[in-house]
């Protein structure tokens, strides 16, 4: 065998060794837990044969606590580039089979390398987390490594889409990288995220809680809103990441890819003309409206289990990717509260950063009152949603279906927040408040007097409420002043949105230059 052939053979052997990560035993253990390895995950995520791996021979430099004996080629992360549906992406997947995927200085360098390349090339960066956190033996160097990653997460925010899959443990300060990215997906039952684990919680606060109830997918998808998506299997999770990417541009200088649309833009759905109940206090399902108007009725929902009173997610109109924000009358009457405001604000800001038009479907009775909300800073969270809408300069279309009262009317993309097209259904009620509230305030003296005189209070209230609702509970007051551009037939909504988006395609809007705003938090 020639020297060259021998060298090539050695390279192939080295590669094979690197591909085994922490070794066959550790791989078996990973599989026994129902988890795939880092390389298997990357293979499933990327287009066949497109993965270009970097730094597979990189080694850590730590010699503390016998670490020189725990050397594995590539250390605990697999990084590189590839394509998804033919589009360039950068990926890193922590390898739990190598020292529990714990983050070393070297691993951080590998992750930072692909993050830097993603920024240079204007391509999304997808991270799959499965790690015991900072590599304890490396001390401050591991912490510095995390900080390097966080700084890149921050700089990449709003420039390239960043997506985090949580496919195992993600604990301590490590959680801040996913939290800084745009979307987080957690595996049900096999992943968790928390700042301090159950043992520390017990020792500090005395609280008994297991990992799942402290930071499992069920907690973060329903209570905290930390995760945007959950999946039962890794196959499902990776398919969701691909689907999400299909709605997004590769960077903030591009538009999302347009797909061919065979759903006619003038398709009418008669269900919409009948969907608003006779009784204004009766709920209906906003999902039915969404599926009636979007291309092929498709909707890719973000945070479906969190703050269900507001619905956010991606859809397409005539093949164009759009962010939908909609109040949900069948969940707490679609009221806005702290969580709904946070959820809506974050989504609106993401869409704005990535040139994705925003379509808002409004049926909102107001903000939820009470100490629970005020103590949790509903003022600031509501202001955050308001800020997000007012700041967004992408094409914005608002359709008011029914209620649109008070502050919530303004917040949900009213005309004065520089919304481009404001449509309303004939059933819209756009006013400062509902009839009963308004009459209680305006007629307080009259009601008191009739009571004292033993008159028919109910009849008086009913008459005054009718007077108020005839005057205000309709879209025409707002249309009269040009705050609503047109009152439309509900079944025509898809067509009006599609035509509106086509019209707004060349929208340019400049705002005063500044370093950055100070968004209420
Ligand atoms: C070094 C680690 C490690 C770590 C795990 N390992 N975590 N090595 N640093 N942080 C090693 C283990 O020693 C073991 O090595 C191998 O990885 C597999 O771990 P196991 O414990 O056998 O696996 P499992 O039973 O599945 O438990 C997984 C685990 C547990 C729950 C993640 O390992 C664990 O609690 N690790 C420590 C978690 C933690 O407290 N991390 C620090 C968080 S603070 P061998 O050689 O025996 O196979 C933090 C700060 C970040 O991360 C700050 C950023 C700003």
Helix (H, G, I), strand (E, B) or coil at 88: strand
Vertex 412, ends 406 and 415: CA angle to 5°?
85
Model confidence pLDDT, tens digit, residues 155-178: 999 999 999 999 999 998 899 999
Give the pLDDT of residue 173.
83
CA atoms within 13 A on the CB side of 379: 4
* CA Rg value for the chain: 27
Model confidence pLDDT, tens digit, residues 120-130: 999 999 999 99
**DSSP-derived secondary structure for 394-436:** S-EEEEEEEEEEHHHHHHTT-GGGT-SEEEE-TT-EEESS-HH
Phi, psi of 413 (to 5 degrees): 75, 50
Query: Is 174 near ligand 1, meaning CB less than 6 Å away?
Result: yes
169 C-alpha to center of ligand 1: Å?
Answer: 9
Model confidence pLDDT, tens digit, residues 305-355: 999 999 999 999 999 999 999 999 999 999 999 999 999 999 999 999 999
Cα 76 to Cα 160: distance, rounded to the nearest angstrom: 25
For atom 30 of ligand 1, the residue with the nearest CA is: 132
Phi-psi sector, 264: left (phi>0), alpha (psi -120 to 50), beta: beta
Give the pLDDT of residue 357.
98
Model confidence pLDDT, tens digit, residues 391-401: 999 999 999 99
> What is the position in ligand 1's atom list of the atom closest to the CA of 131?
32
Give the pLDDT of residue 133.
94
What percent of the chain stands above pLDDT 70?
100
163 C-alpha to center of ligand 1: Å?
Answer: 23
133 C-alpha to center of ligand 1: Å?
Answer: 6
Q: Which of 70, 132, 192, 201 to mutate to test the pocket of ligand 1 (most atoms within 8 A of CB)?
A: 132
162 C-alpha to center of ligand 1: Å?
Answer: 25
> What is the position in ligand 1's atom list of the atom closest to the CA of 171?
43
Q: Which of 26, 95, 100 to mutate to test the pocket of ligand 1 (most atoms within 8 A of CB)?
A: 100
Judge whether residue 17 has pLDDT over 90.
yes
Phi, psi of 240 (to 5 degrees): -65, -40
Tell me the sheet residues that pair with 302. Answer: 312
Query: Is 143 near ligand 1, meaning CB less than 6 Å away?
Result: yes
What percent of the chain stands above pLDDT 90?
98
For atom 55 of ligand 1, the residue with the nearest CA is: 173
> What is the position in ligand 1's atom list of the atom closest to the CA of 70?
46
Nearest to 420 by CA among 399, 401, 445: 399
> What is the position in ligand 1's atom list of the atom closest to the CA of 133?
52
Judge whether residue 368 has pLDDT over 90.
yes
Judge whether residue 240 has pLDDT over 90.
yes
For atom 51 of ligand 1, the residue with the nearest CA is: 173
Would the ipTM clear 0.95, i.e. be above it? Answer: yes
Mean pLDDT of the chain: 97
Q: Which of 66, 133, 196 to mutate to test the pocket of ligand 1 (most atoms within 8 A of CB)?
A: 133
Model confidence pLDDT, tens digit, residues 59-75: 999 999 999 999 999 99
**pLDDT, mean of residues 241-260:** 98
Tell me the sheet residues that pair with 54. Answer: 79
- Go through the domains of the chain in sequence order and give each one's CATH number: 3-246 (3.90.226.10), 271-433+474-506 (3.90.226.10), 435-472 (no CATH)
For atom 31 of ligand 1, the residue with the nearest CA is: 132
Judge whether residue 407 has pLDDT over 90.
yes
Out of 186-190, 195-199, 330-334, 394-398, pick the least confident.
Answer: 195-199
For atom 45 of ligand 1, the residue with the nearest CA is: 99
**pLDDT, mean of residues 377-394:** 98
**pLDDT, mean of residues 207-228:** 97
> What is the position in ligand 1's atom list of the atom closest to the CA of 169?
32
**pLDDT, mean of residues 266-286:** 96
Judge whether residue 1 has pLDDT over 90.
no
Give the pLDDT of residue 266.
97
């Amino acid at each position: 065998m020639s020297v060259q052939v021998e060298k090539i053979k050695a390279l192939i052997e080295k590669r094979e060794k690197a591909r085994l990560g922490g070794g066959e035993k550790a791989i078996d253990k990973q599989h026994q837990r129902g988890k795939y390895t880092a390389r298997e995950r990357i293979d499933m995520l990327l287009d066949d044969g497109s993965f270009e791996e970097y730094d597979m021979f990189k080694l850590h430099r730590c010699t503390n606590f016998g670490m020189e004996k725990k050397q594995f080629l590539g250390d605990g992360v697999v990084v590189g580039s590839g394509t998804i549906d033919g589009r360039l992406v950068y990926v890193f997947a922590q390898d739990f089979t190598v020292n529990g995927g714990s983050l070393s200085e070297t691993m951080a360098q590998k992750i930072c390398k692909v993050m830097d390349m993603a920024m240079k090339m204007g391509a999304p960066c997808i991270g799959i987390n499965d790690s015991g956190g900072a590599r304890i033996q490396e001390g401050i160097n591991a912490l510095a490594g995390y900080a390097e990653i966080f700084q890149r997460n921050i700089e990449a925010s709003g420039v390239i889409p960043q997506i985090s899959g949580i496919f195992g443990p993600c604990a301590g300060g490590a959680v801040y990288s996913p939290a800084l990215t745009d979307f987080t997906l957690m595996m049900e039952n096999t992943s968790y995220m928390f700042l301090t684990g159950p043992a520390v919680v017990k020792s500090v606060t005395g609280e008994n809680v297991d990992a799942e109830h402290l930071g499992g997918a069920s907690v973060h998808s329903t209570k905290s809103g930390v995760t945007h998506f959950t999946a039962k299997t890794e196959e499902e999770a990776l398919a969701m990441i691909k689907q999400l990417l299909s709605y997004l541009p590769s960077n903030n200088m591009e538009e999302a890819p347009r797909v061919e649309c065979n759903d006619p833009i003038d398709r009418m759905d008669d269900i919409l003309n009948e969907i608003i109940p006779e009784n204004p206090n009766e709920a209906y399902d906003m999902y039915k409206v969404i599926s009636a108007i979007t291309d092929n009725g498709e909707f890719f929902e973000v945070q479906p289990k969190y703050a269900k009173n507001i619905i956010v997610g991606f859809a397409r109109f005539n093949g164009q990717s759009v962010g939908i924000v909609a109040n949900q009358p069948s969940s707490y009457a679609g009221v806005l509260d702290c969580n709904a405001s946070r959820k809506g604000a974050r989504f609106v800001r993401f869409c704005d950063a990535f040139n994705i038009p925003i379509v808002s479907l409004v049926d909102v009775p107001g903000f939820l009152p009470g100490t629970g909300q005020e103590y949790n800073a509903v003022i600031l969270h509501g202001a955050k949603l308001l800020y997000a809408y007012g700041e967004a300069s992408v094409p914005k279309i608002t359709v008011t279906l029914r209620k649109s009262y008070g502050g919530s009317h303004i917040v949900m993309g009213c005309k004065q927040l520089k919304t481009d097209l404001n449509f309303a259904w004939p059933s819209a009620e756009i006013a400062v408040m509902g009839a009963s509230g308004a009459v209680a305030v305006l007629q307080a003296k009259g009601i008191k007097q009739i009571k004292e005189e033993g008159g028919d209070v109910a009849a008086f209230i009913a008459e005054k409420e009718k007077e108020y609702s005839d005057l205000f509970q309709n879209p025409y007051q707002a249309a009269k002043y040009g705050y609503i551009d047109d009152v439309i037939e509900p079944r025509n909504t898809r067509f009006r949105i599609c035509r509106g988006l086509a019209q707004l395609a060349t929208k340019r809007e400049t705002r005063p230059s500044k370093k950055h705003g100070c968004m209420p938090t």
